[in-house]
């Protein structure tokens, strides 16, 4: 049982929509409750947006598009975007507290990763936007061809609950940098930090109407994706939701960017540095309660080191402290919601039915309240097991031995997902050979989740469409007109 004293004063907020630079309630007056997953207490109420609220937000965003934002000199817009990052850092403790209250993730993680990175997303794109040029070609003495970038228009940003501020800002920063106006739809489960972010944008000097937000469930998101006057949708979430969005956006042929689910392999060869493997695999399995799309939840270990790996991995996993997200020594906090907790627990039942062996966990954590699951390592499952094939998105990993490169590669690619992979080996030729064969958008060799925001981020197969990061984000949020000037 967790006993460490709370250090942070807790100030949850009610969440209203943000339209035209003001917080507003739903036209219907509807609200829903926001629950703290660590305690099951009510944090506050959230406005539940309907089609009419989305319509208003889109109309306001459309009007703002004709205002100064898109035509502002790049240096001025860049300074405003930088300021948003600065204000996020100034309000770091408040934002980190809200993020932990909403998600159940450890406070040190909110502080050191989520909020820092949210600020950096703005700092990065504030710099990046000043370097973006246009192609131009002189065709002998016949013509000059050059391209002109302009904003795509009104963009809907729809996000999940696992890294709420980090992911919203990962879309908002480049969307603003490219001069668009936006309507954000945060996850219904984690609405608080986006609510503060909207005001921060105004405080930084973003003109009213450029950044808007409507809270709500899937139907609210669907009102945005099907809207006739929304030009593009940037979505992060489940693969099945991506598919529904594609259908609803089809009649209006919106530009779509999708960052979807994954079931990522972590492939460990016997020649890898096992100390590094264990440290990183602990993170890639259980950080953020395993609620990271990139988590390496399918672990494949070469048979020569299978027993040693398991012995050391199990010992380290047992040391992970599960409990109060506000305790500094907590490594695994609460899962985000009761619904998600029940989903993860149902996979533990499936693993039992499938004949899996639990080397750790396999059950709820010993807490009086809240949605806690112990970090779980499962062996003995076949490659067709549902726990090996389906995204669980919790602190649950499966470990399977392999004998040959061919055998493991065949299993690695035997999935509709293709988000990321980790590959551990000291053989450089093997690293190059296998990373080229892995059907995934991102492959980390001898590391995991090492990011450089200039690089393309995104999934292959049913894990996404398009890439985000640096030029890739900028291209998505820009429309390009080619001009040919006859000489």
Binder among 159, 266, 281, 478 for ligand NAD (CB under 6 A): 159
259 is catalytic: yes
In angstroms, the CA 393 to CA 341 distance is 10
In angstroms, the CA 487 to CA 473 distance is 34
- Close Cβ partners of 248 (under 8 Å, ≥ 6 residues apart): 222, 225, 226
CB 322 to ligand NAD: min, Å: 21
CA atoms within 13 A on the CB side of 4: 13
Nearer to ligand NAD, 258 or 313 (CB): 258
Binder among 48, 99, 114, 188 for ligand NAD (CB under 6 A): 188
Instruction: Say how many C-beta atoms besides its own lie within 10 A of residue 209's C-beta.
Output: 21
Binder among 69, 122, 125, 161 for ligand NAD (CB under 6 A): 161
Kindly identify the residues of this chain, within the stretch 416-435, that bind ligand NAD according to CB under 6 A: 419
CB 263 to ligand 6OD: min, Å: 13
**56, 188, 259, 291: the active-site residue:** 259
162 lies in the site for ligand 6OD, by CB under 6 A: yes
- 394-428 CB burial, b ≥16 within 10 A, e <16: bbbbbbbbbeebeebbebbeebebbbbbbbbbeee
- In sequence order, what DSSP letters do the residues of 66-104 get, joined into one string? TSSTTTS-HHHHHHHHHHHHHHHHHTHHHHHHHHHHHH-
Nearer to ligand 6OD, 167 or 249 (CB): 167
- In sequence order, what DSSP letters do the residues of 261-322 get, joined into one string? ----EEEE-TTS-HHHHHHHHHHHHHGGGG--TT---EEEEEHHHHHHHHHHHHHHHHHPPB
Angle at which helices 164-177 and 92-103 pack, to 10 degrees?
Answer: 130
CB 327 to ligand NAD: min, Å: 25
337 lies in the site for ligand NAD, by CB under 6 A: no
335 lies in the site for ligand 6OD, by CB under 6 A: no
Kindly identify the residues of this chain, within the stretch 419-458, that bind ligand 6OD according to CB under 6 A: 451, 457
Kindly identify the residues of this chain, within the stretch 440-459, that bind ligand NAD according to CB under 6 A: 459
Helix (H, G, I), strand (E, B) or coil at 189: coil
163 lies in the site for ligand 6OD, by CB under 6 A: yes
Kindly identify the residues of this chain, within the stretch 221-260, that bind ligand NAD according to CB under 6 A: 221-222, 225, 236-238, 241, 244-245, 259-260
CB 236 to ligand NAD: min, Å: 5
Is residue 80 within 8 A of residue 205, CB to CB? The reply is yes
In angstroms, the CA 206 to CA 85 distance is 13
Strands 232-236 and 420-424, bridge-based pairing: unpaired
Element (H, E) at 158: strand 154-158
As a 3-state breakdown, the chain gives helix, strand, coil percent values, each rounded to 5, of 40, 20, 40
Q: What is the largest CA-CA distance in the chain?
A: 79
388 lies in the site for ligand 6OD, by CB under 6 A: no
Kindly identify the residues of this chain, within the stretch 280-299, that bind ligand NAD according to CB under 6 A: 293
**15, 293, 295, 387: the active-site residue:** 293
Instruction: Classify residue 118 as left (phi > 0), alpha (psi -120 to 50) or beta.
Output: alpha
CB 370 to ligand 6OD: min, Å: 22
Q: Which residues pair with 464 in a beta bridge?
A: 259
Contact string (CB under 6 A) for ligand 6OD, positions 167-206, x = contact: x--x------------------------------------
Q: Which residues pair with 35 in a beta bridge?
A: 42
Binder among 292, 305, 373, 378 for ligand 6OD (CB under 6 A): 292
160 lies in the site for ligand NAD, by CB under 6 A: yes
119 lies in the site for ligand 6OD, by CB under 6 A: no
387 is catalytic: no
In angstroms, the CA 379 to CA 398 distance is 6
Nearer to ligand NAD, 87 or 294 (CB): 294
Nearer to ligand NAD, 256 or 272 (CB): 256
Nearer to ligand 6OD, 147 or 455 (CB): 455
Q: Which residues bind ligand 6OD (CB under 6 A)?
A: 162-163, 167, 170, 292-294, 451, 457
The residues assigned a catalytic role are 259, 293
Q: Which residues bind ligand NAD (CB under 6 A)?
A: 158-162, 167, 185, 187-188, 217-218, 221-222, 225, 236-238, 241, 244-245, 259-262, 293, 391, 393, 419, 459, 464
């Amino acid at each position: 049982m967790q006993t460490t004293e709370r250090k942070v004063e807790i100030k949850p907020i009610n969440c209203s929509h943000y339209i035209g630079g003001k917080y507003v309630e739903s036209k219907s007056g509807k609200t829903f409750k926001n629950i703290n997953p660590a305690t099951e207490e009510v944090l506050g109420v959230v406005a539940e947006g309907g089609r009419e609220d989305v319509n208003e937000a889109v109309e306001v965003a459309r009007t703002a598009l004709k205002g100064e934002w898109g035509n502002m000199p790049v240096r001025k817009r860049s300074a405003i975007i930088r300021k948003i990052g600065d204000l996020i850092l100034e309000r770091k403790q408040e934002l980190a507290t809200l993020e932990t209250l909403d998600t159940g993730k450890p406070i040190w993680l909110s502080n050191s990763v989520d909020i820092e990175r949210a600020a950096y997303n703005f700092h990065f794109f504030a710099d990046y936007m000043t370097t973006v040029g246009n192609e131009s070609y002189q065709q002998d003495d016949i013509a000059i061809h050059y391209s002109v970038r302009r904003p795509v228009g009104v963009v809907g940003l729809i996000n999940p609950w696992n890294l709420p501020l980090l992911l919203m800002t990962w879309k908002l920063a480049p969307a603003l940098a490219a001069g668009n106006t936006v309507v954000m739809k945060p996850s219904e489960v984690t609405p608080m930090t986006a609510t503060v972010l909207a005001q921060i944008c105004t405080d930084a000097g973003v003109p009213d109407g450029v950044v808007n937000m409507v809270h709500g469930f899937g139907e609210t998101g669907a009102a945005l994706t099907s809207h006739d006057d929304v030009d593009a949708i940037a979505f992060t979430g489940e693969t099945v939701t991506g598919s529904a969005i594609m259908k609803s956006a089809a009649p209006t042929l919106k530009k779509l960017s999708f960052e979807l689910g994954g079931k990522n392999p972590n492939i460990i060869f016997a020649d890898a540095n096992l100390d590094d493997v264990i440290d990183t695999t602990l993170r890639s399995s259980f950080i953020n309660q395993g609620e990271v799309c990139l988590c390496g939840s399918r672990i494949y270990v070469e048979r020569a080191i299978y027993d040693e790996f398991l012995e050391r991995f199990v010992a380290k996993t047992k040391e992970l402290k599960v409990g109060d997200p506000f305790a500094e020594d907590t490594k695994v906090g609460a899962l985000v919601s009761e619904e998600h907790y029940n989903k993860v627990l149902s996979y533990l039942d499936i693993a039992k039915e499938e004949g899996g062996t639990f080397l750790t966990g396999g059950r709820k954590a010993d807490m009086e309240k809240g949605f806690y699951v112990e970090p779980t390592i499962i062996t003995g499952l076949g490659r067709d097991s549902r726990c090996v094939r389906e995204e669980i998105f919790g602190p649950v990993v499966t470990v399977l031995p392999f004998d040959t490169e061919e055998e493991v590669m065949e299993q690695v690619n035997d999935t509709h997902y293709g988000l990321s992979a980790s590959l551990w080996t000291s053989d450089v030729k093997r690293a190059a050979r296998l990373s080229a064969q892995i059907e995934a958008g991102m492959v980390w060799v001898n590391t995991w989740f090492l990011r450089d925001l200039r690089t393309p981020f995104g999934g292959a197969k049913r894990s996404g469409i398009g890439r985000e990061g640096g030029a890739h984000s900028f291209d998505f949020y820009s429309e390009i007109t080619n001009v040919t000037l006859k000489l």
